[in-house]
Amino acid sequence: MTAILEVKAASAAYGQIQALRDVNLDVYEGEVVALIGSNGAGKSTLLKTISGIIRPTNGEIRFNGAPIHQEQTHVIVKSGLVHVPEGRAILKRMTIEDNLLTGGMYASKHDTPHLLAHVYDIFPLLRDRRQHPAGTLSGGQQQMLAIARGLMAQPKLLMLDEPSLGLAPLVIKEIFGLIQTLKASGMTILLVEQNARQALRIADRGYVIENGGIKLADRANALLHNDMILQAYLGGAHSA
């Protein structure tokens, strides 16, 4: 079976600073893959490189069999690879619905109402407040809006960068419940998450990135019970 996303020996840099080193990563259709690592390890940089925000200095990135590492970001989005960045990046003065419509800007006029209806079915709170400014939402609700906006782009693969960052425990539980729902619907997801334990519990496979390179790759359940991973990223306790 061919991977929907293939990252082959990809490197990237910020000026003279090497940020990624010969990264190899695959994502297969219908699975959730978690990418874990410490702050500054290269997690967000890898997502930005995949989505075309950062150009790789070496290597190759393929999506649905086609090379995308030299493509513009909007071309990559149109192909079905959608990146929900860290920090949400919602347009706070615009209404919730207008934020959603920016996510569906490449959809046809015929498809847009159906996409909105689908997203509102998943996020009824957004439907109820669709004419309110996005800035009136709580942090967790803004994260849901960011994910909903990503879904408006009709992703074949959804990349989520730190969706639980800065949120209260109860809201984090809700966000991971949403990701579980998307997984159950067949959505393919590449998940970068500071909460490594939660990410691995929901994922099929996981990669550990350290100093810009992949240190370990395995089934998610195996990583949850790996002593090295437990000590470094999961608090050292076998409570998975």
What domain range includes position 63? 1-80+155-240
Lookup: tokens for 7? 């990252």
Check whether residue 63 and residue 175 sit in a common domain.
yes
pTM strictly above 0.75: yes
pLDDT tens-digit profile, the chain (240 residues): 789 999 999 999 999 899 999 999 999 999 999 999 988 899 999 999 999 999 999 999 999 999 999 999 999 999 999 999 987 688 899 999 999 999 988 888 888 999 999 999 999 999 999 999 999 999 999 999 999 999 999 999 999 999 998 888 999 999 999 999 999 999 999 999 988 999 999 999 999 999 999 999 999 999 999 988 878 876 655 444
Q: Which amino acid is at 150?
A: G
User: Do 86 and 129 meet the contact criterion of CB atoms below 8 Å apart?
Assistant: no
Check whether residue 3 and residue 73 sit in a common domain.
yes
Lookup: tokens for 203? 């994922």
**Domains contained in the chain, number:** 2
Task: Say what the alpha-carbon torsion angle 124, 125, 129, 135 is, to the nearest 10 degrees.
Answer: -140
Check whether residue 96 and residue 180 sit in a common domain.
no
pLDDT for res 240: 41
pLDDT for res 2: 82
CATH number at residue 216: 3.40.50.300
pLDDT for res 205: 98
Asked which of 130, 153, 176 is the last residue of a domain, the reply is 153
Check whether residue 101 and residue 124 sit in a common domain.
yes
Check whether residue 231 and residue 170 sit in a common domain.
yes
- Of 121, 119, 51, 113, nearest to 86 by C-alpha is 51
Check whether residue 67 and residue 102 sit in a common domain.
no
